[in-house]
Structure 1
Amino acid sequence: MPISIDNHTYYMIAEACELAGTRRNTLLRWIREGRFPDVKIRDRNGWRLFVEGDIERLRAEVNKIKRIERE
């Protein structure tokens, strides 16, 4: 469930991955490898919070890989 703070909507990593069509472990590996930039926003527990722009970039990366796999 998205989190709304000061008229901004944030998504936890599982939600962001579901919306983008990838798995959590895949995203964490991409972040670790530098293939996808880590988000700058975290909650008080240190959990990553994704905004719509992050999800769009992630979706674009997922779609790019799916295109390559189909070729």
Structure 2
Amino acid sequence: MAITMNGITFYRTSEVCRRAGVSRATLFRWFKRGILEDRMPRDRRGWRMYTSEDVNRIMLEAQVVKNRLETPRIT
């Protein structure tokens, strides 16, 4: 469920994962490994709030990984 504050729409982790087609564990692993920068603002509970730009960036990374896995190796 998206939340709008000061004209900016934010998404929760579950929504981002659903849109990108990755698990929560995968998303957090990408942050931990530095594949994605963990620069999202947090709500009062400390939960990440993702902008549309963040969601697009995560979806792009998910697509890159998917393409890498689907590309056959030439031997």
**TM norm structure 2:** 0.89
Deviating 4+ runs (over 3 angstroms):
none
Quote the residue 1:48 is aligned against.
Answer: 48
Shift of 1:33: 1.0
Provide structure 1 residue ranges, at least 5 long, that are not aligned to the other structure.
none
Paired residues of 1:22 and 1:62 also in contact (CA < 8 A): yes
Superposition pairs for residues 20-59 of structure 1, below 5 Å? 20-59=20-59
Quote the residue 1:61 is aligned against.
Answer: 61
Shift of 1:20: 1.4
The number of aligned residues is 71
Shift of 1:47: 0.5
Shift of 1:16: 0.8
Shift of 1:40: 2.9
Paired residues of 1:2 and 1:11 also in contact (CA < 8 A): yes
> Percent identical across equivalent pairs?
35
Paired residues of 1:4 and 1:10 also in contact (CA < 8 A): yes
> Over aligned residues, Cα RMSD in angstroms?
0.9
1:4 counterpart SS class: strand
> Distance between the aligned counterparts of 1:3 and 1:16, measured in 2?
13
1:40 counterpart SS class: coil
Quote the residue 1:3 is aligned against.
Answer: 3
